[in-house]
């Protein structure tokens, strides 16, 4: 009998050891399990002290386990690389008026440039720890694949083929755009022109974009024939338009408004009405890197939640203490949400303090060029499409 009991005990011990070994070595799958377990227990148990009992305290070993798991979670991730390097390599256009251009002081400015700074503030605690990598549209995805850029903030439209075949993943849309057309009034176009009026026109855009494909589809659908000329970047497109080599230029509507405003005086007209496409623009990074995706995505969400709740760079210190429970969690008053992601507890406090909330980022760059915050780019509470998941 004794021997049988001993044998059973050994068998159970052996099984437990094997299970533990398997858990330890199986990183990705186990991290997912481990994380959801630990956040479940936080969510349910944190205030229900019934569950804050000996059983969950016993999990001194659980705590150790979850520390290990959070190390595994970021291992091999771009998140680890960026932290080790101490600088974010952020892919931008550099020629996207209002989104990323170099100002007279040599500083990269614009809506996209500020989202690069927001990620650097979250991941490195320093909004200025950004190396801006200027990329043409055609170069951008290769730069992610080769590791020359960690993330793109480059007027990049989320499409099915980029998300799958090209090997990218996409973060939350930061700007809901749509493709439009612009022409000179002197060539007979007016603010009531449509695609049906462009038969025989030379239409120009930059290469490697959704816009070159959309305009061909739109011309076909309208039954008109066009000559489509593509150039390396939108500065060259605009120069050709000014020189009269293009009757029409076409790209994301926000870019046309920006170009028109920095080239005043002009008689340029943007065709009104519904844009010819949907262009959801946002952060883009290499696929299958969850830890990095989470860091980038929650940086954007932090700017959105702060915008929704009126937390900005001016009141963030006060909100860290006097904000509602979600804001205190988001800003690091209870740092666990951020630390399990491999970030500092105050990661999103740094984003709002150093860069600002979504509205501050938008207002700093776009309304001065005539791009107003309206429609889809307003909060869901105002009828828009900006809707961040809860920080919980």
The SS3 of residue 151 is strand
Task: Check residue 155 for interaction with ligand GSH (CB under 6 A).
Answer: yes
Task: Check residue 234 for interaction with ligand GSH (CB under 6 A).
Answer: yes
User: CA-CA distance, 377 to 373, in Å (whole number)?
Assistant: 6
Task: Check residue 174 for interaction with ligand GSH (CB under 6 A).
Answer: no
Task: Give residue 32's Cα distance to chain centre.
Answer: 22
Token pair recorded at residue 324:
């509602």
Task: Check residue 95 for interaction with ligand GSH (CB under 6 A).
Answer: yes
**Could you give the string, one character per residue 110-149, with x where binding to ligand GSH holds by CB under 6 A and - elsewhere?**
--------------------------xx------------
The SS3 of residue 386 is strand
CB of 107 to ligand GSH, least distance (A): 18
CB of 287 to ligand GSH, least distance (A): 17
Residue 80: Cβ-neighbour burial (10 angstroms; 0-12, 13-18, 19+): middle
**Could you give the string, one character per residue 178-207, with x where binding to ligand GSH holds by CB under 6 A and - elsewhere?**
----------------------------x-
Task: Check residue 252 for interaction with ligand GSH (CB under 6 A).
Answer: yes
Which one among 233, 289, 294, 308 touches ligand GSH, defined by CB under 6 A?
A: 233
- Spatial neighbors of 143 by CB under 8 A, at least 6 apart, are 91, 133, 135, 149, 152
Task: Check residue 277 for interaction with ligand GSH (CB under 6 A).
Answer: no
Q: Which stretch binds ligand GSH (CB under 6 A): 50-58, 196-204, 208-216, 369-377?
A: 208-216
User: CA-CA distance, 355 to 123, in Å (whole number)?
Assistant: 13
Long-range CB contacts (< 8 A, 24+ apart) of 238-244?
A: 238/263, 240/204, 241/182, 241/184, 241/204
Task: Check residue 251 for interaction with ligand GSH (CB under 6 A).
Answer: yes
Task: Check residue 354 for interaction with ligand GSH (CB under 6 A).
Answer: no
CB atoms within 10 A of CB 39: 15
Contact of 365 with 99, CB cutoff 8 Å: yes
Binding site for ligand GSH (CB under 6 A): 93, 95-96, 99, 136-137, 155-157, 206, 209-211, 233-234, 251-252, 255, 279, 281
């Amino acid at each position: 009998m004794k021997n049988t009991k001993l044998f059973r005990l050994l068998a159970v011990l052996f099984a437990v050891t094997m299970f533990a070994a398997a858990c330890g070595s199986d990183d990705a799958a186990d991290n997912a399990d481990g994380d959801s377990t630990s956040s479940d227990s936080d969510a349910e148990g944190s205030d229900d002290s019934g569950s804050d009992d000996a059983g969950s305290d016993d999990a001194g070993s659980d705590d150790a386990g979850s520390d290990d798991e959070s190390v595994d979670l970021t291992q091999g991730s771009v998140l680890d690389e960026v932290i080790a390097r101490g600088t974010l390599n952020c892919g931008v256009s550099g020629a996207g008026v209002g989104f990323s251009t170099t100002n007279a002081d040599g500083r990269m400015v614009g809506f996209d440039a500020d989202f690069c700074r927001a990620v650097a503030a979250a991941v490195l605690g320093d909004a200025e720890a950004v190396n801006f990598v200027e990329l043409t549209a055609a170069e951008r995805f290769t730069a992610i694949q080769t590791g020359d850029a960690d993330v793109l903030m480059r007027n990049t439209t989320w499409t099915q083929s980029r998300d799958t075949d090209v090997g990218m993943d996409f973060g939350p849309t930061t700007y809901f755009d749509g493709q439009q057309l612009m022409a000179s009034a002197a060539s007979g176009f007016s603010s009531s022109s449509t695609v049906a009026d462009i038969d025989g026109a030379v239409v120009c855009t930059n290469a490697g974009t959704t816009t070159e494909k959309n305009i061909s589809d739109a011309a076909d659908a309208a039954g008109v024939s066009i000559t489509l000329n593509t150039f390396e970047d939108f500065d060259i497109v605009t120069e050709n338009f000014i020189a009269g080599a293009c009757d029409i230029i076409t790209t994301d509507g926000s870019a046309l408004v920006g170009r028109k405003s920095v080239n005043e005086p002009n008689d340029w007209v943007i065709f009104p009405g519904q844009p010819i496409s949907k262009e959801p623009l946002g952060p883009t990074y290499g696929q299958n890197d969850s830890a990095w995706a989470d860091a980038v995505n929650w940086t954007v969400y932090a700017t959105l939640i702060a915008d929704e709740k009126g937390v900005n760079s001016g009141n963030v210190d006060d909100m860290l203490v006097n904000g509602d429970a979600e804001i205190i969690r988001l800003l690091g008053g209870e740092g666990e949400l951020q630390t399990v992601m491999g970030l500092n507890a105050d990661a999103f406090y740094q984003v709002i303090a150093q860069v600002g909330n979504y509205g501050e980022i938008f207002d700093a760059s776009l309304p001065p060029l005539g791009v107003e915050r309206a429609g889809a780019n307003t909060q869901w509470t105002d009828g828009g499409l900006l809707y961040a998941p809860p920080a919980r």
